[in-house]
């Protein structure tokens, strides 16, 4: 039995198109773990496009950044469908929890470090990736301590990907947008980790009640 109490609340999970897609994937024999790996591959392509597009000339930059935006959204789509195929499609596997979490952390690193390289500040990309991983770490630490899974923002995964998608498109005329977006992620993901930490500490002080 899959524990759905640790599932990220998503309105898109109730949409007709998502349910149809998940049903067709399950019927085709596609596993949730395979979808999770596909999401990681999409993140690799997004990060690669973000890394090389800004120096590819006007047309190459435009094409690369549009692809980066599409691959960021493809990553989110895979993150949505892997859980739906596992839960609603009844295809969950014993190693599912690993494949549900590990590719997400790798995906954040690939996309944000790629953006840092493209913006000419790799260290800033790594800093944004570290803050993104930290937000997930605090959430998982809370679950380990018996707290409900905390998916609160202001810069949770869906917010990071929305920001990077928009930044990729806005960077077509102005490449410096990538640098600005990374600074926003560093600041707000750090704030997210702090807020989650404070909520966890309050939970523990209440005696997990």
Q: How far apart are CA 50 and CA 109, in angstroms?
A: 12
The model carries a pTM of: 0.93
Paired tokens of 124: 């800033």
- In the block, which residue shows the tokens 């890394």? 51
Assign 13 a pLDDT band (cuts: 50, 70, 90).
confident
Indicate whether 1 pLDDT > 50: no
Q: How far apart are CA 165 and CA 155, in angstroms?
A: 14
- What average pLDDT does this structure show over 72-86? 94
Q: What would the pLDDT profile of 18-69 be if each residue is shown by its tens digit?
A: 899 999 999 999 999 999 999 999 999 999 999 999 888 889 999 999 999 9
Lowest mean pLDDT among 100-104, 145-149, 204-208: 204-208
Residues 6+ apart with CB under 8 A from 162: none
Indicate whether 3 pLDDT > 80: no
Q: Domains along the chain?
A: 13-205 (1.20.120.1760)
Coil, helix or strand for 129? helix
Lowest mean pLDDT among 3-17, 42-56, 72-86, 145-159: 3-17
Assign 90 a pLDDT band (cuts: 50, 70, 90).
confident
The single-letter DSSP state of residue 148 is P
Q: How far apart are CA 193 and CA 137, in angstroms?
A: 8
Higher per-residue confidence, 116 vs 83: 116
Q: Contact at 8 Å (CB) between 196 and 139?
A: yes
Q: What is the pLDDT at residue 153?
A: 86
Q: What is the pLDDT at residue 197?
A: 97
């Amino acid at each position: 039995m899959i524990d759905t109490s640790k599932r990220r609340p998503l309105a898109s999970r109730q949409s007709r198109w998502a349910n149809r897609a998940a049903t067709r994937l399950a019927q085709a024999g596609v596993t949730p773990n395979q979808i999770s790996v596909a999401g990681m591959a999409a993140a690799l392509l997004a990060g690669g496009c973000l890394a090389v597009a800004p120096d590819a000339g006007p047309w190459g930059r435009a094409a690369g950044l549009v692809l980066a935006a599409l691959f960021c959204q493809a990553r989110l789509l895979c993150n949505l469908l892997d859980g739906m195929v596992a839960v609603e499609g009844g295809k969950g596997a014993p190693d599912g929890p690993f494949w549900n979490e590990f590719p997400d952390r790798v995906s954040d690193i690939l996309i944000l470090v790629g953006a840092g390289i493209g913006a000419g500040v790799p260290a800033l990309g790594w800093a944004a990736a570290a803050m993104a991983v930290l937000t997930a770490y605090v959430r998982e630490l809370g679950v380990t301590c018996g707290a409900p899974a905390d998916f609160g923002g202001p810069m949770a995964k869906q917010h990071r990907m929305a920001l990077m998608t928009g930044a990729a498109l806005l960077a077509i005329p102005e490449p410096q947008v990538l640098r600005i977006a990374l600074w926003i992620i560093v600041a707000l993901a750090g704030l997210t980790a702090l807020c989650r930490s404070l909520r966890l500490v309050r939970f523990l002080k209440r005696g997990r009640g």
